[in-house]
Structure 1
Amino acid sequence: MEVKKTCNIYCDESTHIENDGQPYMILAYVSTPYHLLKMHNKNIRKMKMEHFYRGEMKWSSISKSQYPFYNKLIDYFFSNDSLNFRAIVIDKSQLNHKYYKQSHDDFYDKMYYQLLNKKIFHDINYNIYLDVKDTYSYKKAKNLKLYLERDYQNIRNLQIIRSHESELMQLTDVLMGAINYKLRGLNRVTAKNNIIAKIENFCGKPLTEKTSKSENKFNLFFIDLKNGN
C-alpha cells in the first residue's frame, strides 16, 4: 500500500480585526512537503547567520540595513519549487455580518476555510499550523478543524504555535506583509518598496491583482463579498 505524502502548512493573518481601521483583511500561508521542512529551516537559519540577522523575520522589520537578508530570502523562496504561498484578501468595507447573521469570528473561520480548501488534495496528508494571536486562537483552531473535517479526512494535525518557532510561518508574515503594504498604497520605506518590486518581478504582475486559480507558487485571490465570490 502506497504511503500518502505529507504537507505542512503555516498560516498567518494580517489586519484581520473587524474595526482596526485598516481596509483589508488578509489570510495567508506558506506550505512545503514535510520531508523538506528541516532542509528549509536549516537553510534559512544559515542565511540569518550569514547576515547577522537575529530574531524573527517580519515584514515590519525590513529596513535599509536588513534589506540584503530579505532580498536573499525572497530569492530563496522563489528558487525553491517545494515552497508555495497562497493568500486571500477581503475588502472590509464589504463586511455585512448582520445581514448574514454571523459574528466576525464566524466570518473569520469561514475565510480560513476558503484559504485552505482550494489547495487541499485528498491524496496528501496535512499538518496545519496557525500563529497564536490571543486567547481565542485555540478556539479558532478547533473551529477550523471542524470545518475542514466535514470535507476532508486527511488533516493529520491542526494546532496553534508561536511564530518564533517556525521559519516558514515567519516567511508567511513577510510575503503577506508585502501584499498589505502595496494594497494600502504605502511607499515610505525604500527597502520595502524594493522587496515588493522583486516579488512582482518574479510573479510577473502587481500584488494588487489576483493570480490564476491554477497558480501554485504565489497564489493570490481577492474575495468579492458583494458577489458571493
Structure 2
Amino acid sequence: MSENFATSYSYKLFCDESCHLEHDSSNVMVLGTICCPEESVEKINRQIKALRYQHSYKNELKWTQLHFKQIGFYKALIDLFLETEALRFKATVVLNKKALNHEQFNQGSHNNFYYKMFYYTLRDFLEPRNHYNIYLDYMDTQGRDKAKKLMEVLHNANFGQVNIATYIIRSHESQLIQLCDLLIGALSYSNRTDIAHESKVKNELVDYLVLKLCHRLDMGTPPWEQKFNIFRFSPRGTIC
C-alpha cells in the first residue's frame, strides 16, 4: 500500500504530573500519560461513572485525598484499567531531583528538563501519520505556554510527521486524567525516600497494584512493556 494511503488512527493522551516543581518538598518527580484510542474514550468514561455510582463516589479523584472507606472504588478502577485493552500507561520517574545539574545539562533551566522528561513520557505513543489530542491538567496560569512549548518539542523530535494538538483542561472534567493521577500518585509514593510510608489506604493500593502487575513500582520496566511502562531517570543516567 502506498504511504499516502496508509491507515491513520486518532488517540487521546491524558497527562498528569506529581511533584514537578524544582523546589518542592519531594525528592522525586513523576510525569504520566494514559493513551486511549479516540473511539474508546466515551465507553470508558461511562464505565468509570458507573463505578462511581456503584461505590457512591462523588468527589474528584486525587491521590492526595484518598479515604480508606473508598478502597473498593480505587481497586475497581485499577481493575478496569488493567482489564481494558484500549488503555495504556507510561510514566517517567525522576529520582533524586535535588541532584539535577541544570546548568550543565539543561541550559540552566528546570523547564527545559521538564519538557525533556515529558518527551520521554510521550514518545513511545507517537507514530507517524496518526493524530493525537494531548490533554494536560491545568496547573497554573502558564499552562497554555507549557502546552505550546510541549507541542513544539514533540513536533521537532518527530520531524513534523506526527499530527499533534494540545489542550489544557481542569482535572475534574476528565475521568482519565483522574485515573492517571491515581497511577502516578502510587508511583510517586512508592519511589519517595524522603517520607514515612504510613498511609494505610496508600500502602494497600500500592500493594494491590503491585500484585496485579507482578512488578514493583520502584523499579523500571523493559522498554517494550506496553500496558504499564515505567521509565526511571536519575542524575547519573537511566535506571532499568
TM-score normalized with structure 2 length: 0.90
Report which stretch shifted further, 57-66 or 28-37.
Answer: 57-66
Instruction: Give, in angstroms, the shift of residue 201 of structure 1.
Output: 1.3
Q: State the shift of 1:157 in Å.
A: 1.6
Matching residue of 2:35:
31
Query: Would the aligned equivalents of 1:9 and 1:30 in 2 still touch at CA under 8 Å?
Result: yes
Q: Does 1:87 align with 2:91?
A: yes
- Where has structure 1 moved over 3 Å in runs of 4 or more? none
Answer with 35-44 or 216-225: which moved more. Answer: 216-225
Give the superposition deviation at 1:191: 1.9
Give the drift of 1:220.
0.3
> 2 CA distance for matches of 1:228 and 1:83?
25
CA distance in 2, matches of 1:145, 1:107: 15
| Number of residues of Structure 1 aligned to a counterpart in Structure 2 | 229
Matched, 1:73 2:77: yes
Q: Give 2:67's aligned residue.
A: 63
Specify the alignment match of 1:167 in structure 2.
175
1:52 to 33, 36, 56: 56
Q: What is the CA distance between 1:114 and its match in structure 2?
A: 1.5
Partner in structure 1 of residue 224 of structure 2 = 214
Residue 136 in structure 1 maps to residue 142 in structure 2: yes
Question: Any gaps of 5 or more consecutive residues in structure 1?
Answer: none
CA contact (8 A) 2:151 2:164 kept: no
Per-residue Cα deviation, 1:39-62 (whole angstroms, up to 9, x for no partner): 000110111011110121111222
The answer to whether the Cα contact below 8 Å between 1:63 and 1:189 also exists between their aligned partners in 2 is no
- Does the aligned pair in 2 maintain the 1:87–1:115 contact within 8 Å? yes
The CA distance in 1 between the partners of 2:231 and 2:10, in whole Å, is: 25
1:227 aligns with 2:237: yes
Contact 2:155 2:164 in 1 (8 A): no
